[in-house]
Amino acid sequence: MGFLARSIPRRILAALLSIYVATYFATAIVVYSGVRASILEGDAAALNQLADLKYEQLANVIGALATDLTAWSELDVMNDLVSGDIDKRVTHALEALKRLYGLDGEIYAFDAAGKLVASSDGGGVRPGRDRIPAPWEADRTHLTFIDKGEDPMTGGEVVALEIPVFGSFDRNYRIGTLVMTYRWASIERLLFELESGTILVEKGGRPSVLAANPKDIADRAGVAPGQAVGAEPGGAFVVGRSVRKSGLVPNWEVVTIQDPASATRPLRWVALDLALLGIFLGLPIILLGRWLSHKLTEPIADLTRVMREIADTDRLEARAPVTSSDELGSLARSFNRMTDNLERATREREQFVRDLAALNQTLEAKIAMRTEELEAAVKAQRRLIGDISHEIKSPLARLSMALGLARRSAELDRPRQFDRMEREVESISALASELLTLARLDGAAAPPEFGQIDLGSLIGRIVADAIYEKPGRASDVILRRPDAPVTVIGNADLLGRAIENVVRNAVFYTAERTKVEIVLSRKAPEIISVAVIDHGPGVPEAALEHLFEPFYRVDEARARETGGSGIGLAICERVVQLHGGAVRARNNDPHGLIVDIELPAAPAPSSMHDPSTGRIARG
């Protein structure tokens, strides 16, 4: 008592320790009791699951054997049972199946009269056992499970599966019986384990214990061969039972048993853990007294430490802890406000430097980006000029050649040369018209006048024009469109030109007797789809993304022969985009090209179109 009387911190520490010991002791008793009950309940649930698992393993093994036996009974080689397996084909088949599947038992084949015809045991059948045994002899018409018993053919405890065999030539004619055995020792290997006792009970008309491990566990637990169905073992054990299920073994029940002492063995560790936890939790109580002795000098020590840290490292984010509201706390708060102001000023200066550097980088990036855009524009302009020059030079060269030939030809040959020059002039005129259309679509001119268009009729006229120009392709071109009108809002001339370019490409660039399909459909209530499908050679995958670029050609020689300018698909893309749609190309399977055009469907009749903006306005 004199030790406690000389110091208030010591008295506080003694009081805290007394309260802690009483509270922790009561809590430990409650926790220990709850843990013990939870362990026993959890162990019982685990044993139930374990029993169900073992039962499922047994049922799965027997079910797999039943599936295999059913399949083997339908093998064509089983037809030899009728002839007594003269050439031993059935015997060889049974031996091969045993080796292949690693069967832990034997397979026997009996003919319709019950005589043993073949087996997989390699001659291990007992002498005189040439007929089907009485336990296996029954007029069964389906697969049957035969419970534990002695194997009449070779001896030893087994379970068996029996199935009738019918001839493949007549499914109603029974030609024999297949019996498969499975050693009872293998059943026990699946059933037993070291952690707990296990009992397999047959709960049929006469309940009996089929297997138990250890051997005396059934007697000690009160599960005897004559036990009534549903009787529970004694309270000296924690017991788990499998759930009764249907199947080949509905009368089997697995019982798992464990000694409560084994189940509650971890409680010793729980008690040890509680004791150690009590010791470790008591350490803070002891340290509390030391904390009280240093409480008065701690604020000054903290302030000194922070000032030394700032002086040594120039780190202004350090702060003195404020632990009280007295003079020492006021001093710490004032010191912290001073460091706050200094740190804020430093952050603002550093932020200004970072912002200046970021602005400089942004300016450099924008200059570089604008430079790249200008270079790209110059390259595009040079390419366009080169393409236009190339396109115009070719017909001009041919026109010059025709003019020279006309001068040197006889009078009667000049009309032919003039016809050639006229065609070249028309080619140059068409190219100029295409270039003008492309320029208008790419430019900032006023939007064209829009109206309601019957897309089915428009495509019909385009297909008719293409067939008129290529009458030999009339049987190759197929137009599919719905009976009901399909309308869109747009400019008929531009849409007609866009779709015509795609249709003409498909008809003109494919060989005769190559099918070309134009399919008009409503892909969704608000989307109209036009698909132009040909079965020609198609284009390389790398060229698909360039098809809609001006003057791009997959095959230069083919384009020259047909007079293509290389900007038809570019005009198609610009027109479809102007109408709020999309166009894309993809290869057909196995060969050919598909061009899909999607356009917005015409709105309801109450809607109207504003030509000045190219948008649909509601009335």
State how many domains the chain has: 3
494 and 474 within one domain:
yes
**pLDDT the model gives residue 329:** 75
510 and 556 within one domain:
yes
What is the sign, positive or negative, of the torsion defined by CA atoms of 249, 252, 258, 260? positive
574 falls within a domain:
yes
**pLDDT the model gives residue 481:** 92
Calpha distance 333→252 (Å, rounded): 79
453 and 417 within one domain:
no
Hey, what are 350's tokens?
């550093």
609 and 495 within one domain:
yes
292 falls within a domain:
no
Structure confidence at residue 233 as a pLDDT band (50, 70, 90): very low
Domain end, chosen from 157, 188, 219, is at 188
Question: Span 471-477, mean pLDDT?
Answer: 90
Query: What CATH code is carried by the domain that includes residue 110?
Result: 3.30.450.20
Domain end, chosen from 135, 159, 188, is at 188
CA dihedral 351, 356, 358, 361 (to 10 degrees): -160
Would the pLDDT of 232 be above 50?
A: no
602 and 573 within one domain:
yes
DSSP class of residue 168 equals T
Q: What is the pTM of this model?
A: 0.40
Cα(first)–Cα(last) distance of the chain, in Å? Answer: 99
10 falls within a domain:
no
545 and 614 within one domain:
yes
108 falls within a domain:
yes
Using CB atoms within 10 Å of the CB of residue 279, give its burial: 0 to 12 exposed, 13 to 18 middle, 19+ buried.
exposed
- The DSSP-derived string for 226-272 is TPPTTPPPPTTSEEEEPPP--SS-TTEEEEEEE-HHHHTTTHHHHHH
pLDDT in tens, 510-536: 888 899 999 999 988 899 999 999 998
Would the pLDDT of 265 be above 80?
A: no
**pLDDT the model gives residue 619:** 29
Q: Are 560 and 465 in contact (CB under 8 A)?
A: no
**pLDDT the model gives residue 262:** 65
Share of the chain above pLDDT 90, in %: 11
**pLDDT the model gives residue 559:** 47
| Mean pLDDT estimate for the chain | 77
pLDDT in tens, 83-108: 888 888 888 888 888 889 888 888 99
Greater confidence (280 vs 418) lies with 280
410 and 465 within one domain:
no
**pLDDT the model gives residue 228:** 36
489 and 340 within one domain:
no
Query: What CATH code is carried by the domain that includes residue 468?
Result: 3.30.565.10
Out of 236-240, 289-293, 526-530, least confident range: 289-293
Greater confidence (566 vs 367) lies with 367
Q: Could you list the residue range(s) of the whole structural domain that residue 174 is in?
A: 74-188
408 and 454 within one domain:
no
> How many angstroms separate the most distant Cα atoms in the chain?
147
Structure confidence at residue 277 as a pLDDT band (50, 70, 90): confident
254 falls within a domain:
no
431 and 562 within one domain:
no
Question: Span 52-72, mean pLDDT?
Answer: 87
pLDDT in tens, 137-164: 766 778 888 888 888 888 888 889 898 9
Out of 351-365, 430-444, 471-485, least confident range: 430-444
Question: Span 269-275, mean pLDDT?
Answer: 78
The amino acid present at 275, given as its one-letter code, is A
Question: Span 177-184, mean pLDDT?
Answer: 90
43 falls within a domain:
no
Length of the chain: 619
Would the pLDDT of 424 be above 80?
A: no
Structure confidence at residue 614 as a pLDDT band (50, 70, 90): very low
**pLDDT the model gives residue 91:** 87
528 and 399 within one domain:
no
- The DSSP-derived string for 293-313 is HHTTTHHHHHHHHHHHHHHHH
Would the pLDDT of 109 be above 80?
A: yes
Domain end, chosen from 410, 425, 445, is at 445
Calpha distance 572→475 (Å, rounded): 26
602 falls within a domain:
yes
Structure confidence at residue 226 as a pLDDT band (50, 70, 90): very low
- Which H/E stretch holds residue 463? helix 455-469
CA dihedral 583, 584, 588, 592 (to 10 degrees): 80
Phi first, then psi: give them for residue 258, nearest 5 degrees: -140, 140
474 falls within a domain:
yes
Calpha distance 502→568 (Å, rounded): 8
pLDDT in tens, 542-568: 888 888 887 777 765 444 444 455 677
Q: Are 583 and 519 in contact (CB under 8 A)?
A: no
Structure confidence at residue 422 as a pLDDT band (50, 70, 90): low
165 and 150 within one domain:
yes
